Each structure stands twice: as structure tokens, then as C-alpha cells.
């Protein structure tokens, strides 16, 4: 295989991914548009307030272009989107893109920290459980895991607040410190929210990784590694972990969507100015351009993360590199 052919394959591969992204975004935004319009009431009532007459409402609608057909509205939204214009919030007049960009980093940081925490819990636990599968330690960790898994995130959030800020007084219960105020202060405001997500999330990762590790540990090359006289930790980390990580990574990618839902709750509880809160506020106010903008960014993020997971496979397993090249 020549390098140019390889490059050519990569380009078609990326092109295909981009096309898929486009289709997903189109479908998701269209459905969201429809759903927001199916909700009773619209933003005109919010703007007009309680004293507004029917004429006032009509005037506001006309001014905002809400009197046009849904299809026309969607078409003009798409038209502006092509030029990078997501419109302005009906309520505050703030450009949607700007509103999102100011809140996105908060949610991203929350998701990244919570995933890292979840991994930090799941990796050692899965390694221990798989190495000693069926032992007391394995059962203890698994049972404890299921117990935490059955706790809803908002209860978990309250529990962590109670323990770490009320009882131990280690961390602030709510509030957000921007990164400019110092890395440590900023991280501190994320520890509890991220922990209340991670404490539920890690169990899923641990279970998936554990079962894949158990399968891997029965492979002949693990026996071979033992025959080399390598100590158990080395066999687990260097020989078993990498070929066992696939399902866990897939689950992590798929979880991103669910985590955005969790983030709404957690951001509200901990008063973090993130995407989740922005979206929920916008939905209540029927601020539908803001809703559209949020959904657009979230769906792009979701597809991107899952495509990244696909590419990670090829990094993890050299055999897939060849299959992908031959297959596409």
C-alpha cells in the first residue's frame, strides 16, 4: 500500500464522517424545531407578560417572525446557520452563539473532570475484580457498585454536599469560580458536581471493563506473558488492559449523551453556569432559537465524540487499521 493511497483512504473516511455529522445535525435540529413548536404557548407570552392583550401578542409574533409557517421558519434558520448566524435570544437579545460559547466551557470541564474521576475509580476496581474474579473483593466491589448505581444523581449530589461541605467543610456546596480566578479555586467548584456524576458513572465502566478483562485474561497470550515471568500487575497493565478497553470506550462515548442530561440536574443543584441550565431555561421560556442553538452544539459534540471513539479503536488495535483500510 502506498502512502498516497493511505492518505486517500483517510480523506474519504473523514469525508464520510463529515457527511454523517451533517445528516445527524439536520435530523436532530428538525425534530427539535418540531417539538418546540408542539409545546403549548410561545415566547410572545413570556415577553408580553400577564397584561398583554391578544393584539400585543400578535404584534410581538409578527415582529419576531413567529407568524410564519414552521417550515419557513426552519428554512430561514438553516439559511442563517450556513453563514454562522444562530440568531439572538428572543428574551435577552444576546446572540445565541455567544451565550453558548460562554457556557460551553463550564459543561465541558464538568464532563471531562467527571469522566476522569469515573475512570480513576473504574480502572483499578476493574483490574482488581478481574484479576481476582469471584473472590470476596470482587463481590464486595461489584455489590457496592450496584448500590451506588441505583442512587439517582440528584440524591448523590445532595449526599456529596452533605458529606464534603456540610460535615467535613472541605469544599464549597455551590457556586462557580472562573478559571481566571485561579486553577485550584476553579477546580474546587467542580469537584463535587463531577464527583456526583462520577460516583454513578464509574460502575458502568467498571462492569464493562471487568468482564472484558476476564475474557482477555483467558487468552493464550496472557499465559505466554505469565510464562515470561512477568509480575501480575505488569501483565494486567501492559498486556491485558489495552485489548480489553474497547467496550468501555464505546460505552463512554454513548454515555456522553446521557451525561448531558445529568449535567442539567447537577448544574442546577450546584449553581454552575453551564449548557444544561441554559437549555432548560430556554425550554421553559420557549426561547426556541436558543433551544435550537444548544441542541445543535450538543448533537455536534455527540457525533464528534463517538467518531473520536471509532478512531481510538484503530489506535488501540493494529489489526483494525488494516481491516479499515481493506474494508472501505
Question: Distance (Å, rounded) from C-alpha 181 to C-alpha 184?
Answer: 9
Question: Distance (Å, rounded) from C-alpha 118 to C-alpha 284?
Answer: 32
CA neighbor of 314 nearest in space, from 253, 246, 251: 246
Tell me if 38 contacts another protein by CB under 8 A: no
Tell me if 319 contacts another protein by CB under 8 A: yes
Q: How far is the CB of 275 from another protein (least distance, A)?
A: 36
Residue selected from 230, 256, 309, 325 as contacting another protein according to rule CB under 8 A: 230
Give ∠ CA 120-128-145 in degrees, rounded to 5: 65
Tell me if 234 contacts another protein by CB under 8 A: yes
Please classify residue 49 by burial: count the beta carbons closer than 10 Å to its beta carbon, then call 0-12 exposed, 13-18 middle and 19+ buried.
exposed
As given in the structure block, the three cell numbers for residue 151 are: 442512587
- Residue 88 sits at φ, ψ, to 5 deg, of -120, 155
Tell me if 317 contacts another protein by CB under 8 A: yes
Q: Which residues pair with 88 in a beta bridge?
A: 95
Tell me if 242 contacts another protein by CB under 8 A: yes
Contacting another protein within 165-224 (CB under 8 A): 219-221, 223-224
Closer to another protein by CB, 235 or 298: give it.
235
Tell me if 327 contacts another protein by CB under 8 A: no
Question: Distance (Å, rounded) from C-alpha 173 to C-alpha 58?
Answer: 45
Q: How far is the CB of 123 from another protein (least distance, A)?
A: 17
CA neighbor of 21 nearest in space, from 257, 310, 304: 304
Q: How far is the CB of 320 from another protein (least distance, A)?
A: 10
Closer to another protein by CB, 137 or 271: give it.
137
Closer to another protein by CB, 8 or 242: give it.
242
Q: How many residues in the shown chain lie near another protein by CB under 8 A?
A: 22
Tell me if 310 contacts another protein by CB under 8 A: no
Site residues (vs another protein, CB under 8 A): 219-221, 223-231, 234, 238-239, 242-243, 316-319, 322
Amino acid at each position: 500500500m502506498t502512502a498516497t493511497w493511505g492518505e486517500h483512504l483517510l480523506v474519504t473516511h473523514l469525508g464520510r464522517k463529515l457527511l454523517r455529522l451533517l445528516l445527524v445535525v439536520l435530523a436532530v435540529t428538525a425534530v427539535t424545531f418540531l417539538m418546540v413548536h408542539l409545546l403549548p404557548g410561545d415566547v410572545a407570552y413570556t415577553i408580553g407578560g400577564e397584561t398583554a392583550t391578544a393584539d400585543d401578542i400578535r404584534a410581538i409574533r409578527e415582529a419576531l417572525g413567529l407568524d410564519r409557517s414552521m417550515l419557513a421558519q426552519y428554512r430561514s434558520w438553516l439559511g442563517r446557520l450556513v453563514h454562522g448566524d444562530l440568531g439572538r435570544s428572543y428574551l435577552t437579545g444576546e446572540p445565541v452563539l455567544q451565550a453558548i460559547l460562554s457556557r460551553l466551557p463550564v459543561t465541558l470541564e464538568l464532563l471531562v473532570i467527571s469522566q476522569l474521576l469515573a475512570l480513576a475509580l473504574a480502572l483499578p476496581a476493574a483490574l482488581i475484580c478481574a484479576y481476582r474474579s469471584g473472590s470476596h473483593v470482587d463481590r464486595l466491589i461489584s455489590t457496592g457498585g450496584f448500590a451506588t448505581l441505583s442512587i439517582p444523581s440528584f440524591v448523590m449530589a445532595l449526599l456529596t454536599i452533605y458529606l464534603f461541605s456540610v460535615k467535613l467543610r472541605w469544599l464549597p456546596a455551590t457556586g462557580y469560580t472562573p478559571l481566571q480566578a485561579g486553577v485550584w479555586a476553579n477546580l474546587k467548584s467542580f469537584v463535587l458536581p463531577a464527583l456526583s456524576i462520577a460516583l454513578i458513572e464509574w460502575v458502568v465502566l467498571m462492569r464493562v471493563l471487568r468482564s472484558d478483562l476476564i475474557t482477555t485474561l483467558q487468552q493464550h497470550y496472557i499465559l505466554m506473558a505469565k510464562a515470561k515471568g512477568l509480575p501480575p500487575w505488569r501483565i494486567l497493565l501492559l498486556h491485558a488492559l489495552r485489548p480489553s478497553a474497547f467496550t468501555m470506550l464505546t460505552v463512554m462515548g454513548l454515555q456522553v449523551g446521557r451525561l448531558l442530561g445529568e449535567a442539567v440536574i447537577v448544574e442546577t443543584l450546584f449553581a454552575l453556569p453551564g449548557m444544561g441550565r441554559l437549555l432548560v431555561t430556554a425550554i421553559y421560556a420557549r426561547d426556541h432559537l436558543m433551544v435550537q442553538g444548544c441542541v445543535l452544539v450538543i448533537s455536534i459534540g455527540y457525533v464528534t465524540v463517538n467518531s473520536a471513539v471509532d478512531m481510538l479503536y484503530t489506535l488501540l488495535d493494529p489489526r483494525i487499521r488494516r481491516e479499515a483500510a481493506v474494508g472501505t
